[in-house]
Chains A and B, each alone.
Chain A
């Protein structure tokens, strides 16, 4: 139904607008910017900060424009003296308890609180601190929470509960003791938190940030005895440009590679290479399950937030997970065995760094079982227990990498484009689309169809699984056999498909799950802000990257074919089993 038009007056000018939106959103449509802090479109409107207040004729008090709908005849003043005074006072009250260590804060230069203080021209903090200093939550391998920097806007609580249905954190206490925390202050590392980092992505301040590892990494880069190689996830090339001052979703593969070389990495490789490898293994695993009466539906295992989610909340369904490691972990295992051997590098000297759009990857690389390369070399090199190493040594988010780029002073935008190194940098379009929700499914279909049907897929573009619908379905016809598949992003949507599985009602053979909205391109480690508009631009760039690739099917990647010929021999073979497949554990909720 067409929405009714209403007449409003804003700052003395008359407008006709559609009914049904808040004053804040209506004014935004009209090009009038009302400063706001706690409000975040589609996520939360707690109306807790009082920064977005406006004057409405006839109203007893100032009204919060983020939760008040515009209505017929409303006369609004967005920047009157009383409005400005109230905004500044409300902000000063928040600042009374906010640390003033902006210079050394992870969010320095990218903080909504800092911005709003600047926009409103706050030049003093007249109120005394009323809250005691609280300890940091450093229990998580992925995220660090600083409750002192929290302004209680509730965005993190909203994404954790409503988008992810994880409920790791909530408001606790009352009055001055109000704070956002986990059950009994146990810390994110000790409760059912999936490390997805969506909380960090929406936090307006530095109250939740990733565990920054760049300073340790820099030491290793400058250590002459170490060979430091880097892999970049597909989603980085459509995210890092934003953090370097380019337009949203800018596709900057070549500049990114060039900048990584300038940072000092010995080799610049691509996680898309092991995304192709994942497709080889996972595609064959699916075929095996289909033909040998295996556990179906099979569910993808690339997204470590999703893995921890199912381990906590649906442990009965673990057998549905593909046993394939994620592309990041496959890369680490292949780099420290195949590549180390090929290049004659002592695996103990090889440092594998991942650039990921993801905070959960920091946790994933430290899962105790992610040391396949060490086990591979242990007997061959007679290694002692204390020499043990992980397959992946460092995981940095897109944001951390952007900071490192800025530190080195590279002129990112104007860098000449460079290519990835061989052989672990060679990838196909199928590897690229792993960044978007539906991408793993599409890539898997491109390979599985051809392996089973023995003929080329009529159309490489599986459009039904593209886009941002919460759950997408497709039906494939492979030589007359019909297969239903589904794709879900965000854990709330994953729950729907899991509940079907647990009720024995799942009609699907294969399911892709990505933890973050939009897939990895909307990951918790991506540049801030990440909105639906920005996710769409990143997705457009990813599909452009796919279309530009000369090879778009994983099984046609020449470097992957060589890896199988020279080393792995065959998909699901015994070397694959040792290096590329894994198992899961039951975690329980508490």
Chain B
């Protein structure tokens, strides 16, 4: 265990989130989403899931089922920045696999995706690379999202630049328009 994995969402925060959504349809999903958002490293930690389970009386196995069904939920600490590469059909035909391979310069990244993982986080927890099945932006394929901002028609050159910017911690908004 390290500081990242030991990170916990405060139970009073969970109580507050739970009480705010009590009785609303789709309560569990919203609550889980907000707990993840409240987490310092944007993930659902064990203690929080256990606390949530006992507080909303939903069995832990079911919470885990929900958390693993949606790619939105993270069960591991996430990096400071996130790059999401779309691996849907349109993006695939327009070369999104190459974009994912371009990110292999991050040590361990290639191995993680080759072994079937759909998420990889650098050891220093600076950058997380994820794949999704589709963004619904197929006309703009290949599509990549960086910290929630969508970049379209992305080339190898651009993704390398995006990665470099993140590593240097500065955003280049112009890339989006190019």
Contacts and interface: CB of A to CB of B under 8 A. Distances in A.
Interface in A161-206: 161, 167-174, 177, 182-184, 191
A52 to B, nearest CB: 25
B11 to A, nearest CB: 15
Contact of A590 (B60, B65, B69): B60
Interface in B108-150: 116
A172 B68 contact: yes
Given A132-B116, A589-B54, A590-B50, A182 B61 contact: yes
Nearest to B70: A174
A226 B60 CA distance: 46
Contacts of B116: 132, 177
B2 interface: no
A171 B60 CA distance: 12
A132 B70 CA distance: 20
Contacts of B59: 161, 167, 170
B28 to A, nearest CB: 13
Contact of A174 (B50, B61, B68): B68
Contacts of A177: 68, 116
A171 B65 contact: yes
Interface in B26-50: 46, 50
A173 B46 contact: no
A184 B46 contact: yes
Nearest to B75: A184
B62 interface: yes
Give the interface centre of A132, A168, A169, A170 by most chain B CB atoms within 10 Å.
A170
Interface in B56-100: 59-65, 68-71, 75
Q: Please classify the interface of chain B as helix (H, G, I), strand (E, B), loop, or mixed, using the class held by over half of its residues.
A: helix
A188 B60 CA distance: 13
B34 to A, nearest CB: 21
B62 A174 contact: no
A173 B61 contact: no
B60 A183 contact: yes
A173 B62 CA distance: 11
Interface in A129-186: 132, 161, 167-174, 177, 182-184
Nearest to B69: A174
Contacts of B62: 167, 170
A132 B114 CA distance: 12
A167 B64 CA distance: 11
B69 A183 contact: no
Nearest to B115: A132
Contact of A167 (B46, B61, B71, B75): B61
Contacts of B70: 174
A590 B116 CA distance: 28
Nearest to B67: A172
Given A132-B116, A590-B60, A170 B46 contact: no
B60 A173 contact: no
Contact of B64 (A161, A174, A183): A183
Give the interface centre of A173, A177, A184, A589 by most chain B CB atoms within 10 Å.
A184
Contacts of A184: 46, 64, 75
Contacts of B69: 171-174
Contact of A170 (B54, B65, B71, B75): B65
Contacts of A183: 60-61, 63-64
Nearest to B46: A184
Contacts of A174: 68-71
A171 B59 CA distance: 12
Give the interface centre of A132, A168, A172 by most chain B CB atoms within 10 Å.
A172
Contacts of B68: 172-174, 177
Contacts of A168: 61
B65 A172 contact: yes
A177 B116 CA distance: 9
B64 A172 contact: yes
A513 B54 CA distance: 25
A169 B61 contact: yes
A280 B81 CA distance: 69
18 contacts: A167-B60, A167-B62, A170-B61, A170-B64, A172-B68, A172-B69, A173-B68, A173-B69, A174-B71, A177-B116, A183-B60, A184-B64, A184-B75, A191-B60, A191-B61, A590-B50, A590-B53, A590-B60
Given A132-B116, A184-B46, 15 more contacts: A161-B59, A168-B61, A170-B65, A171-B65, A171-B69, A172-B64, A174-B69, A182-B61, A183-B61, A183-B64, A589-B53, A589-B54, A589-B60, A590-B50, A590-B53
